[in-house]
Amino acid sequence: MRSADASLRPTRAEVLLDAIGHNLRVVRAAAKGCKVLAVVKADAYGHGVVPVAQRLQAEGVDGFGVALAEEGIELREAGIDRAILVLNGISGGAHRDIIAAGLTPVLYELSEASAFDAVSAGRPIDVHLKVDTGMGRLGVPLGELDEFLRELRRFPSIRIVGLMTHLSTADTDPDYVAEQIAGFAHAQGLVRRFGHEPAVLHAANSAACFRHPETHFDWVRAGIALYGYPGSSAIDAPLRPAMRWRTEVLRVRTLEAGDSVGYGRSFRATSTTRLATIPVGYGDGLLRSASNRGHVLVRGARCPIVGNIAMDLTTVDVSGVPGVAIGDEALLLGEQDGAVLDARDLAKAAGTIPYEVLTNVSRRVPRVYLNG
Ligand SMILES: Cc1ncc(COP(=O)(O)O)c(C=O)c1O
């Protein structure tokens, strides 16, 4: 696909870099003196990893978290020189590349320890050991940690410089957080008993950063908060959404009572209805499940999406907004004339979470980076 070009169509995602800088300061204040690792996987949650990471680095962030080796290598090639932690921990054939790029692997599999040891050329390989205290996906299960550490002695190059876990309910269930943190304390004791001295401990995601100071340890790993959302509806933090997703009205027409619109005729007008068509659809990442449920801002009014969202087009009821015309700005995310639609609104309409709304904005939508 030819790369997205903001000069060719009115649709674009404006990424507000000042908002990202502001959000980092909010996270830092909540993290109360511990370091902040910015999670920028999945193209910085859809915002564009290189400009976002460059801005965060300029703002003095302490390090970055990516899911995949190639995401970390892209950051190094863009001049990012802070610590980069590769969170997924399974490196395929990329062990040598990870070392060469100075990325820090997360470790929880002995086969990975063996593969790194094999390419170490006698130099120590610094890793963060991940323990599974209850997320149930990645990490050494607590019950297997003793055996894991015993076996790890076979790979003398591996140096555990960090110990981490991941919380599954920081946004919803404080009791389970407490259980996970108790498990993490147990893991710390065991790791030390085997002679390792991890200098950094970390467990907190964005929600834990705001809600659970007892999980802060040495680093917080903040993702969604940097993009403007606290990670839980229960958290009130002065964050600013960093993506403004805009397009323009392509066509305006009138439906009479009984007329239908779009594939499947899922909307039928019950009275005369003014309809604006906008050139954004699920091919741009607008979740189809927001059909007949989501909203778009036009002239500062929240206008309901009516009919099924199609690949390239969406139809919006603008009956309540006088004078809507071709070329008017239509906003899927952001602020317009004092009205706001954010990823929480769209997530609610689509039956998902803001993370998916943001990462789903497709490559076809040009990202335009704005300061101020
Ligand atoms: C291991 C790990 N830490 C931290 C985060 C950041 O989470 P959040 O975006 O909720 O701050 C993620 C994201 O999913 C993650 O996978």
Dump pLDDT digits (tens) for 221-245: 999 999 999 999 889 999 999 999 9
Q: Are 320 and 301 in contact (CB under 8 A)?
A: yes
Q: Are 216 and 32 in contact (CB under 8 A)?
A: yes
Q: Beta-carbon neighbour count of residue 138 at 10 Å?
A: 17
Q: Are 116 and 109 in contact (CB under 8 A)?
A: no
Q: What is the pLDDT of residues 247-290, one digit of tens each?
A: 999 999 999 999 999 999 999 999 999 999 999 999 999 999 99
Q: Are 212 and 178 in contact (CB under 8 A)?
A: no
The answer on 309 and 343 residing in a single domain is yes
The answer on 309 and 216 residing in a single domain is no
Per the structure block, which two tokens stand in for 57? 């680095």
Task: Write down how long the chain is.
Answer: 372
227 annotated active-site: no
Domain finish residue from 195, 227, 259: 227
Ligand 1 pocket, residues with Cβ under 6 angstroms: 39, 65, 87, 166, 205-206, 221-225, 231
The answer on 277 and 188 residing in a single domain is no
Strand runs labelled E in 166-242? 200-204, 219-222
What average pLDDT does range 31-48 have in this prediction? 97
The answer on 284 and 366 residing in a single domain is yes
Domain finish residue from 227, 251, 277: 227
The answer on 172 and 48 residing in a single domain is yes
Query: Which numbered atom of ligand 1 lies nearest the CA of 45?
Result: 9
Percent of the chain with pLDDT strictly greater than 90? 94
Q: Which of these is catalytic: 108, 130, 229, 263?
A: 263
Domain finish residue from 227, 253, 287: 227
What average pLDDT does range 168-180 have in this prediction? 95
Name the pLDDT band for 1 (thresholds 50, 70, 90).
Answer: low
Decide if 237 is inside a domain. Answer: no
The answer on 248 and 207 residing in a single domain is no
Q: Is the pLDDT of residue 6 over 80?
A: no
Q: Whose CA is nearest to atom 14 of ligand 1?
A: 223
Of 372 and 184, the one with more pLDDT = 184
Name the pLDDT band for 2 (thresholds 50, 70, 90).
Answer: low
What average pLDDT does range 18-34 have in this prediction? 97
Decide if 276 is inside a domain. Answer: yes
Name the pLDDT band for 310 (thresholds 50, 70, 90).
Answer: very high
pLDDT in the model for residue 112: 96
Q: What is the mean pLDDT of the chain?
A: 96
Distance CA 310, CA 303 (A): 17
Question: What is the enclosing helix (H) or strand (E) of 111?
Answer: helix 110-118
Probe target for ligand 1 pocket from 90, 221, 357, with the most ligand atoms within 8 Å of CB = 221
3-class SS shares of the chain: helix, strand, coil, % to 5:
35, 25, 40
Provide the domain limits for residue 217.
17-227
Q: Is the pLDDT of residue 72 over 90?
A: yes
Per the structure block, which two tokens stand in for 27? 């996270």
Q: Which of these is catalytic: 35, 41, 130, 227?
A: 41
Name the pLDDT band for 85 (thresholds 50, 70, 90).
Answer: very high
Longest pairwise C-alpha distance within the chain: 77
Query: Which numbered atom of ligand 1 lies nearest the CA of 205?
Result: 11
Query: Which numbered atom of ligand 1 lies nearest the CA of 166?
Result: 1
Q: Is the pLDDT of residue 8 over 80?
A: no
Cα(220) to centroid of ligand 1, in Å?
10
Decide if 108 is inside a domain. Answer: yes
Q: Is the pLDDT of residue 111 over 80?
A: yes
Decide if 236 is inside a domain. Answer: no
Query: Which numbered atom of ligand 1 lies nearest the CA of 225?
Result: 11
The answer on 362 and 261 residing in a single domain is yes
What average pLDDT does range 7-14 have in this prediction? 88
The sign of the CA dihedral 246, 44, 132, 212 is negative
Per the structure block, which two tokens stand in for 336? 């317009």
What average pLDDT does range 34-53 have in this prediction? 98
pLDDT in the model for residue 7: 72
What average pLDDT does range 198-210 have in this prediction? 97
By mean pLDDT, which of 2-11, 163-172, 224-233 is the weakest?
2-11
Q: What pairing do the DSSP bridges indicate for beta strands 140-141 and 104-107?
A: unpaired
Name the pLDDT band for 122 (thresholds 50, 70, 90).
Answer: confident
Three-class DSSP labels, 257-271: CCCEECHHHCEECCC
Cα(123) to centroid of ligand 1, in Å?
30
What average pLDDT does range 45-59 have in this prediction? 98
Probe target for ligand 1 pocket from 23, 108, 205, with the most ligand atoms within 8 Å of CB = 205
Decide if 1 is inside a domain. Answer: no
Probe target for ligand 1 pocket from 28, 35, 39, with the most ligand atoms within 8 Å of CB = 39
Q: Are 247 and 327 in contact (CB under 8 A)?
A: no
List the beta bridge partners of residue 343: none
Domains contained in the chain, number = 2
Three-class DSSP labels, 72-107: HHHHHHCCCCCEEEECCCCCCCCHHHHHHCCCEEEE
35 annotated active-site: no
Name the pLDDT band for 3 (thresholds 50, 70, 90).
Answer: low
What average pLDDT does range 339-363 have in this prediction? 97
The answer on 146 and 53 residing in a single domain is yes
Cα(349) to centroid of ligand 1, in Å?
23
Cα(82) to centroid of ligand 1, in Å?
18
Decide if 286 is inside a domain. Answer: yes
* Residue 170 φ/ψ region, left for φ over 0, alpha for ψ in the -120 to 50 degree band, beta for the rest: alpha
**Residue listed under structure tokens 């933090």:** 237
